[in-house]
Amino acid sequence: MEAEPLDKHDTEQVAFMAEECILVNESDTVTGSASKVACHHGEGVLHRAFSILVFDSEGRLLLQQRSPEKITFPGVWANTCCSHPLHCEPELEMQDALGVKRAAQRKLGQELGIPATDAPLGDMVFMTRMLYRARASAEWVEHEMDHIICLRADVKPAPNPNEIAEARWVTEAELRELFDSEAIGPWFRLIAERLLPAWWADLDGLARMADGEIHDMGEVAWS
């Protein structure tokens, strides 16, 4: 896609927009690939994404506040890490959700400085999928098949300031307070309100609650 929509944005973030995302249909079947900017600009294109939620041994959830340099949803609070598997063989693999798990591991390192050894693929639990659409602005939109992953690990985040303004561990009560006072990414609000309470209530039983289904959340209003 033409560079015009990006010419006012941070150069590092613009470079990421050239990455090739995985296009899918509403059954999560791969239909092709397109650049990240093509997936998110204008009306956007449905593509595969992931959201990972990392809980520590005290049962707290690691959140991030997106950097003001981000092109879509700058400054909002979100789950530990959310991004996209790339259209490449390792991240296309569907067996045991290895593709999205590899993407999550890659981005935990790039965004939060968490080494792969502290976020092993075998410890990640693929919980479910969520189909949603949310417009960030007149110019940018999210239309994603979001694969949601949970991980229990006592990680030590070292945020990349170009990606993350702040990282914070929170309890359930602290998360509710944050929702009342701060801007929240629409995908994370959906997860937190419709899926997370049951998971957080039984972190030892995450694998038993995994369903791998597709939850159609529809069009989500955000402001």
Give the pLDDT confidence score for residue 12 in this predicted structure. Answer: 66
Fold of 4-220: Nucleoside Triphosphate Pyrophosphohydrolase (3.90.79)
Give the model confidence (pLDDT) of 15-53 as tens digits.
666 799 999 999 999 999 999 999 998 899 999 999 999
**Of the candidate ranges 36-40, 60-64, 114-118, 211-215, the one whose mean pLDDT is the lowest:** 36-40
26: nearest Cα among 144, 136, 140, 128: 144
Sequence letter at residue 20: E
N-to-C CA span, the chain: 26
Catalytic residue IDs: 82, 144
147: nearest Cα among 89, 101, 78, 205: 101
Give the CA diameter of the chain: 48
Q: Is residue 26 within 8 Å of 46, Cβ to Cβ?
A: yes
Mention every residue, 6+ apart, whose C-beta is less than 8 A from residue 189: 179, 220
State the pTM of this model: 0.93
